Amino acid sequence: MRFKPRPFIKPVGFRCLYCLDCCRGRHVYLTLKDIARIAKKGHDPQDFVTFSVEGNKVRFVLSVREWDLGCVFHDPETGKCTIHDVRPLICRIYPFMVSRKPLGVGGERPFHYKGETLWLYYDESCPGINAEEPETTITPEEIAELGLEFEEEFEKTDMEGFAKLLDELEK
């Protein structure tokens, strides 16, 4: 299912209903910190990192299973993430999205956070948003913080850093 953006302007209740949609058919970018965190839990980067060339940059992407395009860390029977405690930043952000410019969605407005102007959205197709008996409440500030952290870490993620990380992991 495609991301159906709705403006995220006030806190919302959330409870994952394990619908499996977020863990299938999505391009999940990884930062070097994501890769290190997952590897330190005993997972070999060769088993979960693939590459994507975008312009003159190599991007690191979470591997998917060929048979259903599901994330390699997604348990298809339970719908749960097997690395939830160390999951990538982008997975911690979803079903929300942070943008530097408006998407043209009705009701959107800029969100000012730490001197930055952002536009925040949530995926209206996610059944966990405003679910009955939410497990937690997510605030725009939390998502803005994660978005800025992702942006900073993503820009620092390159092949040289990946090679250095692999060397460090072998020690």
CA distance linking residue 141 with residue 93, whole number of Å? 12
C-alpha dist (Å) from residue 83 to 14, 36, 86: 20, 13, 5
pLDDT tens string 80-128: 899 999 999 999 999 999 999 999 999 999 999 999 999 999 999 999 9
pLDDT tens string 27-68: 899 999 999 999 999 999 999 999 999 888 899 999 999 888
Q: What is the dihedral of CA 72, 77, 82, 85, to 10 degrees?
A: 130
CA distance linking residue 5 with residue 11, whole number of Å? 16
CA distance linking residue 155 with residue 5, whole number of Å? 24
pLDDT tens string 12-23: 999 988 887 888
In 3D, which of 21, 20, 15 has the Cα closest to residue 3?
A: 21
**pTM: predicted TM-score of the whole model, two decimal places:** 0.91
